[in-house]
Amino acid sequence: MKKFEGMTDEALAILYVKGNNEAFDELLARTQSKLFTYIMFVVHDHDIADDIFQETFVKVITKLQNGQYTNSGKFQFWVTRIAHNAIMDWYRQQRSRHIMEPNAENDLQNLSSVSVLDTFRESELVNEQVLIDVKRIMEALPAPQREVVYMRFYQQLSFKEIAALTGVSINTSLGRMRYALINMRRMAKQYDIELALQA
């Protein structure tokens, strides 16, 4: 909405707490796409992601109305933390689902560099396939590893921020990334997949 243009998320949150429902609508509009993408990436199921997204925003509303948000300049971080907790709650409820912690190594610097793709069609096709293969391999990772890879390379968060968001130590975050990279390298080798983009 134009009337909220230039306002920070934090200012909108405070406005909502003071009774302005339109401010919350604006916050939701600003946040929903990025947050849903994050949830979907971790859980891999549209219906489950939708449920967790809705649960996250119910919790956001409740916490805002109960005065549990303080203007720290990190509203997006705060909301992502609530979403992470909702995801972990969902996983805890799925006792039948076995989540293992374990293995892959590769430099993922090229993960988000689609713009680097060569102008030659052959290279473009190879690079497109590499990115598809990388995404497929990432989706095969256990959820905690997939989450840390997503936060690091798609959201470009530091390991300190990842640790704070996921409620683990920095060493655990680094360990999950290490295992994710080892697993990705192992899967690439196992299926003879080339993970390097062509220049």
- Tell me the per-residue pLDDT of 75-103, one tens digit each, with 9 for 90 and over: 888 999 999 999 988 888 875 454 444 44
- Amino acid identity for residue 152 in this structure: R
- Supply the DSSP symbol for 38: H
Residue 119, pLDDT > 70, answer no
Residue 111 banded pLDDT, cuts 50, 70, 90? very low
Q: 66 pLDDT band (50/70/90 cuts)?
A: confident
Which residues, 6 or more positions from 182, have their beta carbon under 8 angstroms from its beta carbon? 103, 104, 105
Average pLDDT, the chain: 79
Cα–Cα distance for residue pair 58/82, rounded to 1 Å = 10
Over range 165-185, report the average pLDDT: 88
134 has pLDDT over 80: no
pLDDT > 80? residue 171: yes
Could you tell me which residue, 116 or 42, shows the higher pLDDT?
42
| The predicted structure's pLDDT at residue 68 | 87
Q: What percent of the chain has pLDDT over 70?
A: 79
